[in-house]
Amino acid sequence: MKISLYTGGFVETNGYLIETPDGNILIDAPEGIADWVAERGVRVDEVLLTHQHYDHVADAAALKGQGARLHAYEHYSADLTLETSARGWGMPISVTPYQIDRCFVITEHLQIGGLEISLAHIPGHSLDSVTFHLVKHGIVFSGDTLFAGSIGRTDLPGGSTAQLLDGIAKHLMTLPPETQIFPGHGPSTLIGAEARGNPYLD
């Protein structure tokens, strides 16, 4: 298994390419990632969305057009992407609509690309936020739930600081301290480092 990082869009959103002998997976679809994988000559089979805020799904339609299947907690809506709210804020946010091929069943492990992925629904940053835990590899893709030294913002529609902190405590901070966290923005970190030094988790 090989993991490559792409960062794109005006809020520098991370997308992760996971290449395996049994297929290639993207975690999130920030702006520009469809061209990035095409330039690398990589065929993307599956796209797993941590949530559907606009910066994480900007290239979802383009990737689907290239043949990838899209997976998310819920089907596309302009509310989830924040397009509806953005109109009230006077922000010109526009996402090309896309169709989700499969909604996650949180109680079941996802078997995809030869990997077994444990899912956790952790609302608080967004209503549809999901983390992906590759148990055998000691890796979590945390989206915008947990960052190095911070947590996801909770002042957007559907946000709740209490929900977010509760979900992080229940689903992430119970993992082994050496577990690697690959977040939706910023550098990677370790569960142990966040347990010791993240000021939001005191």
Distance CA 79, CA 51 (A): 12
Q: Residues 61-80: pLDDT tens digits?
A: 999 999 999 999 999 999 99
**Total-model pTM:** 0.96
Domain architecture of the chain: domains with CATH: 2-201 (3.60.15.10)
Collapsing DSSP to helix, strand or coil, 114 comes out as coil
Task: Give the pLDDT score at 147.
Answer: 98
